[in-house]
Amino acid sequence: MRRGRRSTVAGEHRPVLLESVLAVLDPRPGQIVVDCTVGWAGHAAELLRRVGENGRVIGLDLDAENLTRAQERLGKVGQNFMLHQGNFAGLPAILAAEGLTTVDAILADLGMSSMQVDDQERGFSYMRDGPLDMRMDRSRGHTAAQLLASISKENLRQTLQELGDEPEAEKIAAAVVAARRLKPIERSGELSRLIMETIQTGEKWQLHPAANRWNIHPAARTFQTLRILVNRELANLEQLLRVLPTCLGPGGKAVVISFHSGEDRRVKTAFRAGHRNGTYSNISPEPLLASWDERADNPRARSAKLRWAQRSV
């Protein structure tokens, strides 16, 4: 949906947890692999190299603007790939369009790419001012500005708490409702400033090497929550998890990389349930995390959690 599928900071063009993805999926010559969130093809390019000229990579992305770059990058590796604009919740239909019912491996790197964040016209960033849009597919659906104009204070508070784990949800919801009475909140910069003024924090959002952690920007959780709502990300993930076993051939493997506790909880629950009922022969006992070096080099890797499951034979 990207995923997920960047700025010029060193390392940020690198796909998250690439070595872990390759180690778990173990793509081999002749296999068919699906990247459900192809983005700019960081993972897909390496998968294409591994499956060789007799294999195939199928890439999906809800954001049509990612596909041109993905096409260019994959074309430098090989020609045995196909890209689709579409929602990974509809994976069976996309496979059917390719003449397939099952594949050997499936990857879903959830969330969004930093290329989308860098484009201020998309409205994803709390650090860049632009129209408060946040739609992965700009051809349909309501924008974040439209959502903020209509959502009730109580629904916003509850959503910020449940989806965003936002400790200041009550204050932020009240501030949004009060502000929109005077003027619609239509730009990402307006919303970011409103949240910072509401929380009134002087704390920096930066790396703390001694504590091996980063502070979080005051607006980060709110922006993430709005993006999830606008794009119906959790509902789409739940549908993907339902159809995933039917799309994997015997012994096939699936990897899901999540960046949010609500996403990870759903992946963990689905994989464990599939393991108990025999759908999956094996699953990751715990999520795989990025190394400290990768987290320091690539900000997107800091909250990444990788879980995997293998279809029963």
In a domain, 29, yes or no: yes
Q: Which of 177, 197, 230 is the last residue of a domain?
A: 230
Q: Which residues contact 67 (CB under 8 A, 6 or more apart)?
A: 5, 38, 59, 61, 83, 85
Q: Which of 171, 199, 230 is the last residue of a domain?
A: 230
Share of the chain above pLDDT 90, in %: 76
In a domain, 123, yes or no: no
Residues 29 and 40 in one domain: yes
The answer to whether the beta carbons of residues 36 and 88 sit under 8 Å apart is yes
CATH number of the domain to which 67 belongs? 3.40.50.150
CATH number of the domain to which 168 belongs? 1.10.150.170
* pLDDT at position 217: 86
Residues 187 and 255 in one domain: no
Residues 110 and 180 in one domain: no
Residues 107 and 162 in one domain: no
Distance CA 118, CA 110 (A): 17
Instruction: Please say if the pLDDT value at position 209 is more than 60.
Output: no
Residues 190 and 245 in one domain: no
Residues 67 and 110 in one domain: yes
Residues 42 and 110 in one domain: yes
Residues 150 and 220 in one domain: yes
In a domain, 131, yes or no: no
The number of folded domains in the chain is 2
Q: Which of 208, 230, 252 is the last residue of a domain?
A: 230
In a domain, 150, yes or no: yes
Distance CA 94, CA 261 (A): 28
In a domain, 41, yes or no: yes
In a domain, 1, yes or no: no
In a domain, 53, yes or no: yes
Instruction: Please say if the pLDDT value at position 185 is more than 70.
Output: yes
Q: Which residues contact 7 (CB under 8 A, 6 or more apart)?
A: 114, 117, 118
Distances (CA, A) of 166 to 169, 193, 222, 249: 5, 17, 7, 40
Residues 215 and 272 in one domain: no
- Give the domain extent around 46: 18-115+233-311
* pLDDT at position 26: 97
Average pLDDT over residues 239-246: 98
In a domain, 289, yes or no: yes
Instruction: Please say if the pLDDT value at position 200 is more than 80.
Output: no
Residues 62 and 143 in one domain: no
- Summarised one tens digit per residue, pLDDT across range 69-89 is 999 999 999 999 999 999 999
- Summarised one tens digit per residue, pLDDT across range 248-276 is 999 999 999 999 889 999 999 999 999 99
The answer to whether the beta carbons of residues 255 and 106 sit under 8 Å apart is yes
- Summarised one tens digit per residue, pLDDT across range 4-59 is 333 333 334 579 999 999 999 999 999 999 999 999 999 999 999 999 999 999 99
Residues 99 and 26 in one domain: yes
Share of the chain above pLDDT 70, in %: 90
Residues 238 and 298 in one domain: yes
